[in-house]
Chains A and B, each alone.
Chain A
Amino acid sequence: MKVQLTKLAHARSGDKGDTANVGLIALREQYYPILVREVTKERVKQHFRGISHGEVERFELPNLGALNFLLHHSLGGGGTLSLMTDAQGKTFSTALLRMYIEIPDDEAQTLGLL
Chain B
Amino acid sequence: MKNKVRIAAGQGFWGDLPDAPVRQVEDGPIDYLMLDYLAEVTMSIMQKQKARDPNAGYARDFVPLMRRILPACMDRNIRVTANAGGVNVKGCANAVLEVGRELGFGGKLRVGIVTGDDILPRLDELLERGIELRNMDTDEPLSTVRDRIQSANAYLGAAPIVEALDQNVQVVITGRATDTGLTLAPLMHEFGWSPTDWDKLAAGTIAGHIIECGAQCSGGNCQYDWQTIPNLANVGFPIVEANPTGDFVITKHEHTGGRINVPSIKEQLVYEMGDPNEYITPDCIADFTTVHLENTGENRVRVFGIKGRPATDSLKVSISYSAGFKAVGTLVYAWPDAYAKAQAADRILRERLDRLGLKFDHVLTEFVGANATHGSLAGDPKDDLAEVQLRIGVRGSDKTAVERFTKEIAPLILTGPPAVTGFAGGRPKVEEIVAYWPALIPKREITPVVEVLEA
**Which A residues have a C-beta under 8 Å from some C-beta of B?**
10-19, 21, 23, 25, 27, 47-48, 50-51, 59-66, 68, 70, 76-81, 83-86, 90-91, 93-95, 98
Contact = CB atoms under 8 A, between A and B. Distances in A.
A18 B137 contact: yes
B394 A64 contact: no
A25 B362 contact: no
B268 A59 contact: no
Contacts of B372: 85-86
25 contacts: A12-B268, A17-B438, A21-B270, A23-B269, A23-B271, A25-B263, A25-B270, A50-B375, A62-B289, A63-B289, A63-B290, A64-B293, A66-B270, A76-B362, A78-B436, A79-B435, A83-B326, A83-B393, A83-B394, A84-B366, A85-B368, A85-B372, A86-B373, A90-B221, A98-B377
Interface string B155-177: 00000000000000000000000
A5 B404 CA distance: 45
A68 B275 CA distance: 8
A13 B291 CA distance: 19
Contacts of B291: 63-64
Given A79-B435, A79-B436, A14 B267 contact: no
B122 interface: no
Given A11-B223, A12-B267, A79-B436, 9 more contacts: A12-B271, A19-B137, A21-B272, A47-B377, A64-B269, A68-B273, A70-B274, A83-B328, A84-B364
The 9 closest A-B CB pairs, nearest first, are A23-B270, A83-B393, A14-B272, A83-B364, A91-B373, A12-B267, A10-B223, A95-B374, A51-B375
A45 to B, nearest CB: 13
B434 A16 contact: no
Q: Which secondary structure dominates where chain A touches chain B?
A: mixed
A109 B160 CA distance: 56
A80 B377 contact: no
Nearest to A91: B373
Contacts of B292: 63
Contacts of B270: 12, 21, 23, 25, 61, 64, 66, 68
A16 B436 CA distance: 10
A55 to B, nearest CB: 13
A77 B266 CA distance: 28
A84 B223 CA distance: 22
A80 B434 contact: yes
Contacts of A70: 274
Nearest to B374: A95
Interface hub of A17, A48, A76, A98 (most chain B Cβ within 10 A): A17
Contacts of A76: 362, 364
Interface in B422-441: 433-436, 438
B44 interface: yes
